Structure 1
């Protein structure tokens, strides 16, 4: 089994998570935790114009994060609705 990655949640993502309803919070946190074992799941996509950035969807929410393979880190920096381009603001 490969080594697990360490998760870091940025303050912006933390605030995004706290704004979710309980059901969505549980689903999104579960998806984020799964990134520790596999930071590049089959449904992840590289962010265009953001080197090292990825996105993965959980229900109607999108999780934006970066991967540092050398240090085994996954940094989650935004969580927002998929159909809301606001998730990509200030990248």
Structure 2
């Protein structure tokens, strides 16, 4: 079974396959992730054909219970990053 692949590992694979230095590949990987992050911050979506879609999901505000005091409290709405795998990715990992 393969270990967890991180940004450094992705950069090393790109450097090896495309005759780049590890530093150049790391800069490219960082740029890709920064672009995805910036797009999500601006409320956009990032769709990568054959891989999936990144988007910001809004969790509605709701009423919760403080477990110590048993009082009702309002939990404010929040934004969360989400990822939905494409059909082809789902098929690939079956």
* Same fold by TM-score greater than 0.5: no
**TM-score normalized by the length of structure 1:** 0.35
Q: Higher Cα Rg: structure 1 or 2?
A: 2
**TM-score normalized by the length of structure 2:** 0.34
Q: Relative contact order, CA 8 A, sep 6+: which one is greater?
A: 1
Relative to its length, the structure with more helix (as a share) is: 2
